[in-house]
């Protein structure tokens, strides 16, 4: 048996950390202030503002900047995948490098190939997420281009249309976030090359890092306060 009990435990913790945190964060975001929840409200405010603008050059530039960031990660992911596939032809060299670490387990070639295959799967998944995010931003560009102008911003039909644009942008941002999350857990999976306990520790550390940044960071508090300020201002304008 090329894999030990620690390997199975480490892989179980890794999978539970990744998919468990994804489910947990998705449910908690529905009831708790976090980056995803607050930014969704910001996107709604943004799309409401787009209705009232006759010239939308600024919006086009902002969306292009978002797409450019995602395109960078998508192209980088392809380079990483190319490097991983190259490593399959260098198993002997990789095994000797791993063995040079004093705390690393001695592993067979089949074990190294399985671990490489896991990394390939993770980065392939992230590539699909990034490209889907890019496509959704493209859909949003089309919707913005088709949006009529309402300088007063009081057309209920256009408000409903703006809300759907915010939904499309929100889904694009979620795909981008899932792609980035894959990078985080890929770092944890790399620790499996050296020792299963490192995989366990790194998986838990990634979960802690993601939770603290998405729910307890200063950025979250600032974004949440800003969203509430915008909401109050929009209510004052609506009363007028």
pLDDT band at 112 (very low <50, low <70, confident <90, very high): confident
The predicted pLDDT at position 82 comes to 94
Model confidence at 106, pLDDT cuts 50, 70, 90, reads: low
Q: What is the pLDDT of residues 196-231, one digit of tens each?
A: 999 999 999 999 999 999 999 999 999 999 888 888
- How do residues 9-40 score in pLDDT, each as one tens digit? 999 999 999 999 999 999 998 888 889 989 99
Average pLDDT over residues 102-126: 86
Per-residue pLDDT at 233 exceeds 90: no
Task: Name the 3-class secondary structure at 210.
Answer: helix
Q: If you ran DSSP here, which 8-state letter would residue 52 be given? A: T
How far are the Cα atoms of 93, 102, 106, 109, 113 from residue 99, in angstroms, in the given order? 10, 7, 6, 12, 15
Residue 103 CB contacts under 8 Å (≥ 6 apart), including other chains: 194, 195
């Amino acid at each position: 048996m090329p894999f030990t009990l620690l390997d199975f435990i480490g892989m179980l913790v890794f999978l539970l950390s990744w998919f468990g945190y994804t489910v947990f964060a998705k449910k908690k975001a529905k009831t708790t202030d976090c980056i995803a929840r607050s930014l969704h409200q910001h996107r709604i405010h943004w799309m409401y503002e787009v209705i009232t603008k006759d010239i939308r050059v600024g919006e086009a530039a902002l969306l292009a900047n978002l797409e450019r960031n995602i395109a960078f990660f998508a192209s980088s992911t392809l380079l990483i995948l190319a490097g991983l596939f190259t490593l399959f032809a260098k198993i002997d060299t990789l095994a000797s490098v791993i063995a040079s670490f004093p705390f690393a387990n001695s592993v067979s070639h089949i074990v190294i190939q399985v671990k490489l295959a896991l990394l390939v799967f993770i980065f392939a998944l992230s590539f699909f997420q990034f490209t889907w995010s890019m496509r959704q931003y493209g859909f949003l560009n089309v919707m913005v281009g088709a949006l009529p102008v309402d300088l007063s911003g009081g057309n209920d039909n256009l408000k409903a249309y703006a809300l759907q644009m915010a939904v499309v942008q929100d889904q694009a941002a979620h795909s981008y976030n899932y792609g980035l999350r894959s990078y985080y857990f890929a770092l944890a999976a790399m620790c499996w090359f050296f020792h299963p306990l490192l995989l366990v520790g790194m998986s838990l550390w990634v979960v802690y890092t993601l939770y603290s940044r998405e729910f307890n960071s200063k950025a979250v508090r600032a974004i949440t306060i800003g969203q509430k300020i915008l909401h109050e201002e929009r209510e004052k304008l609506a009363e007028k």
